[in-house]
């Protein structure tokens, strides 16, 4: 019997040692797995952060691009309208000259209709004339050509006369008013 017990005990001891080794290996694998899981979680968090930043950056790019496009569309005709402003000036000079009492020529009704229709079209495209006479001189809107003594004390520092009218395209100044300022 002692002979039967020894091999069994030896077999059990070997089995226990194998089980202990497997348990130790499983623990090592578990610890490796846990460290790998924590490392993967950190990488996932970093990837999420990068994704959110990239998404926000792309969203800002889209908004900026859309804003630039809208501005470009609004001011696309700026050069054309700037080229037409001297025509408006000529119309206004001719009209003003014909309204003088000593004028030999009158501003014909047909030309007056063309003038008003032309102005309506330009206004529909966003062109607006600037009124300057009597306003306080503003270097952001006006270009002072000269200064003259003010006709009245309340006109000091104000626009006395407009030599060339200024214009806005929507809310952007495309031509500054050339004015005479009272001093």
Give the domain CATH number at 89.
2.30.22.10
Q: Looking at the structure, do residues 155 and 137 belong to the same domain, yes or no? A: yes
- 69 and 97, same domain (yes or no): no
Q: What is the pLDDT of residues 48-103, one digit of tens each?
A: 999 999 999 999 999 999 999 988 887 778 888 888 899 998 888 888 888 888 77
DSSP collapsed to 3 states, the chain: CHHHHHHHHHHHHHHHHHHHHHHHHHHHHHHHHHHHHHHHHHHHHHHHHHHHHHHHHHHHHHHHHHHHHHHHHHCCCHHHHHHHHHHHHHHHHHHHHHCCCCCCCCCCHHHHHHHHHHHHHHHHCCEEECCCCCCECCCCCEEEEEEECCCCHHHCCEEEEEEECCEEECCEEEECEEEEEEC
Q: Clarify whether residues 67 and 106 are in a common domain.
A: no
For residue 53, the model assigns a pLDDT of 94
pLDDT band at 24 (very low <50, low <70, confident <90, very high): low
Q: How many residues does the chain have?
A: 183
Distances (CA, A) of 20 to 17, 26, 59, 95: 5, 10, 57, 110
pLDDT reported for residue 10? 59
Residues 143 and 84 placed together within one structural domain of the fold: yes
Check whether residue 107 and residue 46 sit in a common domain.
Answer: no
Residue 12, pLDDT > 60, answer: yes
Q: Does the pLDDT value for residue 150 go beyond 60?
A: yes
* Domain boundary, last residue among 56, 74, 92: 74
Tokens of 81: 């309208």
Q: Which of 27, 52, 74 is the last residue of a domain?
A: 74
Domain count, the chain: 2
Same structural domain, 127 and 100: yes
pLDDT tens-place string over residues 90-144: 888 888 888 888 777 777 778 888 888 999 999 988 899 999 999 999 999 999 9
Task: Specify the pLDDT at position 98.
Answer: 82
Strand-by-strand arrangement of the 177-182 sheet: 142-148, 177-182, 159-164
| Judgement on whether residues 58 and 87 belong to the same structural domain of the protein | no
**CA quadruple 141, 145, 151, 156: dihedral positive or negative?**
positive
Tokens of 33: 């797995």
Domain containing 158 equals 78-182
Q: Could you identify the residue written with the tokens 């229709």? A: 117
Q: What is the pLDDT of residue 112?
A: 84
């Amino acid at each position: 019997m002692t002979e039967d017990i020894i091999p069994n005990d030896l077999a059990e001891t070997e089995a226990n040692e194998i089980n202990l080794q497997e348990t130790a290996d499983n623990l090592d694998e578990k610890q490796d797995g846990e460290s790998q899981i924590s490392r993967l979680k950190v990488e996932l968090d970093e990837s999420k952060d990068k994704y959110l930043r990239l998404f926000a950056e792309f969203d800002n790019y889209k908004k900026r691009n859309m804003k630039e496009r809208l501005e470009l569309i609004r001011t696309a005709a700026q050069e054309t309208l700037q080229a037409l402003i001297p025509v408006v000036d000529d119309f206004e000079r001719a009209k003003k000259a014909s309204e003088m009492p000593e004028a030999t020529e009158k501003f014909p009704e047909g030309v007056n209709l063309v003038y008003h229709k032309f102005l309506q079209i330009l206004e529909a495209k966003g062109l607006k004339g600037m009124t300057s006479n009597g306003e306080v001189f503003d270097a952001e809107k006006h270009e002072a050509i000269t200064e003259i003594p003010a006709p009245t004390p309340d006109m000091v520092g104000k626009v006395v006369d407009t030599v060339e009218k200024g214009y806005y395209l929507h809310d952007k100044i495309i031509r500054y008013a050339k004015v005479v300022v009272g001093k």
